[in-house]
Amino acid sequence: MKTCLIVIDVQESFRQRPYFTERDVPAYLAAQNALIEGCVARGVPVVRIFHVEGPKTAANAFAVESGHVRTLDGLAAFDAAATFHKGRHSALVGTGLDVWLAQNGIQKIIVSGIRTEQCCETTTRHASDMGYAVDYVLDATLTFDMAHLDGSLLAAADIKARTAAVLKDRFARICSVAQALDSAV
């Protein structure tokens, strides 16, 4: 089964957001970089996705004009098999990624990137619905604390646990970097 790694929204734009914290970034980057390097070593194509939306001004961190729509500092360098810009949560909406996957005979995708419960989870669900096998590498995703409706803390670790629970065996195989690499071909 031909596999592709998708690196979703690993971009400096997030460092400009008030919720961004470096707390989980070192562990995330270690896992993300190991996944990228393992895929490159196995000849698995790596696709880069950047999130671009909102006004095209330097003040908008998710606009190309800001200079922040670029690789997050600390991410391993790699030659992307393809790069796509998206304006929706799913990397498969309006980007051409679906066409690229079909043209390259991809049957399984490995999902990684930022944010665990938003673009990574949405892309996973979409890809599964389209018939792709999906490996969701939880440790190679990053998210941030949020607030419940009552204002209490919803910790990033709890968000990740919830994402794993709702995706597991319905939309994806939840796996470690090593497990994803062991089955990547």
Contact criterion met (CB below 8 Å) for 61 and 17? yes
In which domain, by residue range, is 40 found?
Answer: 3-182
Number of domains in the chain: 1
pLDDT tens by residue, 148-174: 999 999 999 999 999 999 999 999 999
pLDDT at 150: 97
pLDDT above 70 covers a percentage of the chain that reads 100
pLDDT at 83: 98
Q: Residues 12-31: what's their mean pLDDT? A: 97
Burial class of residue 93 in the structure, from the number of CB atoms within 10 Å of its CB (0-12 exposed, 13-18 middle, 19+ buried): middle
Pairing of strands 46-51, 146-147: unpaired
CATH code for the domain of 39: 3.40.50.850
Contact criterion met (CB below 8 Å) for 179 and 152? no
Residue 1 has pLDDT above 90, yes or no: no
The CB density around residue 168, as the number of other CB atoms within 10 Å, is: 14
Tokens matching residue 113: 């990137």
In sequence order, the 6+-apart residues with CB closer than 8 A to the CB of 162 are 117
